[in-house]
Chain A
């Protein structure tokens, strides 16, 4: 994702364009305000339940529905500020060196975005009509319910706004092409050749698809190649996954309506989950911790403690992440909190950008290995294993991974110091920078915050998902105490939260759409039959399983991978008498490697999106995370070789 929409036009904007900008900003503000409301509502619900035994009706439903509102209120603004996730590898270089070709491709991708939004709009219309006509509601009548139509209407308006926003970007791209090539925008020889090439490519693919009798599963397999190409050339990742899924479903079912409805249904409904609803709150918590200066203080203390170690701040980040993992259930939360807290401090103290983001990306995976963990819960339900056992089993491997990261950082700092940081950042065995008392004072707020969240979860006051809301509220109060809470800083944090949430949820939803397309092609059933017929032994099956997960992890999100693979693998492996708790931990580690690998590495995207720093490109995050991904693979093999690491505490 880049700020490479460099084609800002010099001419003053027209009135219509000003009005539209105002609308997009108003939508954006609505989303920000709503995030704030959800935080307060969750806090009130938890307090009401805990103190007065009277939870507030409807809060869970509102949280569930809120993510849809936030995404569609803020997506247009996120597109406007160029924050939809995309790869820069090719596009940025083209924009820099072969301007007109770069602009042409940029415009082409905007056109794809328009097409996607038109499809979403077109297929949400009947669904809006339906809920309007039938008076459909969300929730339970007599208990707490809301009419469904406003939510569908919001999707319609949001999709229309996104469409216009992509359109404006396309328009300014075309204008620049005109300027570059005189009156006829398409005279540029290279552009013509590329345009003809793209058209030919599309025609050949279409023709091959029509002529050869490709099977459904074949379509699914081919789609993977297209995802890789699309993402590499710089199409927005979410747009690429959604559109490729759309075309593949169309090819499999030969029915435009089904393909369109799958897109509209997934975008409209698959986000409606309580767990999704708290994502913005975890993001907000991270932003507030950074706004308040609590993050800076924590790193001063950490730097003080680890000042004698080479690369000590990296080690401190890993350690802090391991502690924070005991608070959060998702790695997205860890990644966004520590991007705001750790990366600026590491950069300030002279660490290299790639290393800094790499440490945060790598250690964010601890969030879902050390309990509580959303992924372990999903595994427990899919595989019928005790979630409590899984949680306990995650502790030692989580600590092993923490330790492995520390060893890695020590190794990198000694062997490749220039890749880690400047000489003074690494070698300066500094004097104590603060007194013990000062260190205690500076670390008090973060200890209070962790105490609030951990104490709340394990004291039974609130759930691990509600912890996002309470944590954000706690961070808000601490920010206020520290005198850093101004109206502007709060507003900025809220609007920033909205942008990150919109971009990340758009990615998550498109990954869902893609995995649904894969299920429609029947690939999971074929795999199941193949495994049954292959007669492979345990080692072979396990190897295939891990390789498959790591490969799927490049394109799919963690939840989708487990939904596809676990129900296939467990019945195939059970006859070998494997321990399912151990198997669960293996699965989680393997799945989490995908958080760090391109083209779709969610942890890296979250970091890049939260950072908004021109010096750090998404490729840098992926490169920085690579050593950590490799370390994960090694730890995975260690846990495979020594099942006791997982099962020791359980049995």
Chain B
């Protein structure tokens, strides 16, 4: 028996979280179904690269059943998934991707509102993906915090929060425009990870890489349309969830493989790699307003557990002995 599931995602498979679902997770699910003797295969209709839905449409398209499943980007859904941006609003922590993966799972147990937001939109949340940590690519070298003052930096959505209090001017943009806009001088840098900077060519316009480690982010997720999910038998549910649990591991492995190669190409292309010292990072974090508190209070007012989430996240960092630069909950 075959059940067709159309999976939609906005980026192309070249972007890790899409590629690893297409080549690993979805394949493994069918292998498991076969190995365990179930008379069922899922016919995945991979509809990526904005062929069915553009970046801001994916979530709604899964909600309406246009896609049976989606690889969503939460940062495009500030209104529908307000709580999911927590790692962006508490930057400068040193967790690895697998650590944030564990934290994300643990938070979902403590704060059911996180997953309820998906249910409200006719979706079943499966698992979060975790992106590489974000750093800075810029035209100018950044040795100390003060180097940012008066500089124009591109950013999209909530990531612009990181520039508040730095004296840098945040210009609203998106990663895929970063190359052209830096090249033409609309702004002079973009906070982005090495791999995405390679995919979106940011590096070839901005030849100074500063390792800042804003932190890894739980920016993607696998979700299923509730009706599609219900049309699958419970053994399939179990297998899908178990296989999806390896998603972050696959992402990590795929990126580790790419990163070295990409950094090599970038070095050859003249990119200078430096690291911002802890004391300068400290200055940066201290100069910012408490964006986590502001964010939490705004959510509290709407009846969402904002403060609870901020406290829980910082608690997770502490209990796992993960280094961070600022106590956002204090």
Contacts and interface: CB of A to CB of B under 8 A. Distances in A.
Contacts of A140: 78, 157-158, 160
Contacts of B199: 381, 384
Contacts of B160: 140, 143
Nearest to B82: A141
Contacts of A566: 49
Interface in B236-250: none
Given A262-B66, A377-B176, A516 B52 contact: yes
Contacts of B47: 519-520, 524
Interface stretch (A331-339, A460-468, A476-484): A460-468
Interface string B165-176: 000010111001
A388 B57 contact: no
Contacts of B6: 520, 522
Q: Is the interface of B mostly helix, strand, loop or mixed?
A: mixed
Given A386-B201, A460-B184, A567 B12 contact: yes
A515 B295 contact: no
Q: Size class of A's contact patch?
A: 35 or more
Interface stretch (A31-39, A269-277, A641-649): A269-277
A458 B186 CA distance: 10
A520 B51 CA distance: 9
Given A387-B179, A458-B184, A463-B181, A258 B54 contact: no
Contacts of A387: 179-180, 201
B298 A142 contact: yes
Nearest to B175: A381
A459 B186 CA distance: 9
A131 to B, nearest CB: 9
A202 interface: no
Interface string B1-18: 000101000001110000
B152 A459 contact: no
Contacts of B180: 372, 377, 387, 463-464
B84 to A, nearest CB: 13
A49 B185 CA distance: 11
Contacts of B185: 459-461
B64 interface: yes
A273 B54 contact: yes
A382 interface: yes
A441 interface: no
A457 interface: yes
B57 A265 contact: yes
A18 B192 CA distance: 56
A463 B298 contact: no
Nearest to B199: A384
Interface string B38-64: 000000011111111110110011001
A261 B64 contact: yes
Interface string A350-384: 00000000000000000000001000010011101
B65 A255 contact: yes
A463 B150 contact: no
Contacts of B61: 262, 265
A458 B150 CA distance: 21
Nearest to B157: A140
B56 A272 contact: yes
Interface in A262-286: 262, 265, 269-270, 272-273
Interface stretch (A53-61, A76-84, A110-118, A304-312): A53-61
B205 to A, nearest CB: 7
B64 A258 contact: yes
Nearest to B299: A141
B309 to A, nearest CB: 16
Contacts of B184: 457-458, 460, 463-464
Interface residues on B, range: 35 or more
A273 B56 CA distance: 10
B139 to A, nearest CB: 10
A644 to B, nearest CB: 22
B48 A567 contact: yes
Contacts of A136: 79-80
Say what secondary structure dominates the interface of chain A.
Answer: helix
A524 B51 contact: yes
A261 to B, nearest CB: 4
A342 B64 CA distance: 47
B327 interface: no
B251 interface: no
A516 B51 contact: yes
A206 interface: no
A269 B54 contact: yes
B155 to A, nearest CB: 10
Nearest to B160: A143
A106 to B, nearest CB: 33
Contact of A270 (B57, B169, B173, B177): B57
A130 to B, nearest CB: 9
A381 B177 CA distance: 10
A563 interface: yes
B176 A261 contact: no
A460 B205 CA distance: 13
A54 B152 CA distance: 9
B51 A563 contact: yes
B152 A49 contact: yes
Interface string B73-89: 00000111000000000
A492 interface: no
B177 to A, nearest CB: 7
B279 to A, nearest CB: 27
Interface in B214-237: none
Contacts of A265: 53, 57, 60-61, 64, 66
Interface in A509-528: 515-516, 519-520, 522, 524-525
A525 B46 contact: yes
A564 interface: yes
Contacts of A258: 64-66
Given A60-B172, A258-B65, A270-B57, A567 B13 contact: yes
A4 interface: no
Which residue of B56, B61, B184 has the most chain A CB atoms within 10 A of its CB atom?
B184
Given A372-B180, A458-B184, A53 B45 contact: no
B64 A257 contact: yes
A457 B186 CA distance: 9
A265 B58 CA distance: 10
Interface string B122-152: 0000000000000000000000000000101
B160 to A, nearest CB: 7
B59 to A, nearest CB: 11
A148 B60 CA distance: 14
Nearest to A259: B66
A137 B79 contact: yes
A381 B55 CA distance: 14
A141 B171 contact: no
Contacts of B183: 388
B208 interface: no
A429 to B, nearest CB: 44
B324 interface: no
Given A141-B298, A384-B14, A563-B51, A261 B45 contact: no
Report which residue of B49, B181, B200, B294 has the largest number of chain A beta carbons within 10 angstroms of its beta carbon.
B49
Interface in B96-120: none
Query: What 7 pairs between A and B have smallest CB-CB spacing?
Result: A460-B185, A261-B64, A519-B51, A519-B47, A522-B45, A136-B79, A567-B49
Given A55-B172, A520-B6, A563-B49, 12 more contacts: A49-B186, A53-B150, A53-B152, A141-B79, A141-B298, A262-B66, A380-B179, A382-B49, A388-B201, A388-B204, A522-B6, A525-B45
16 contacts: A136-B79, A140-B78, A143-B157, A265-B60, A265-B61, A269-B60, A272-B56, A380-B179, A386-B201, A386-B204, A388-B179, A463-B184, A464-B180, A522-B4, A564-B51, A567-B12
Interface of A: 49, 53-55, 60-61, 134, 136-138, 140-143, 148, 216, 253, 255, 257-258, 261-262, 265, 269-270, 272-273, 372, 377, 380-382, 384, 386-388, 457-464, 515-516, 519-520, 522, 524-525, 563-564, 566-567
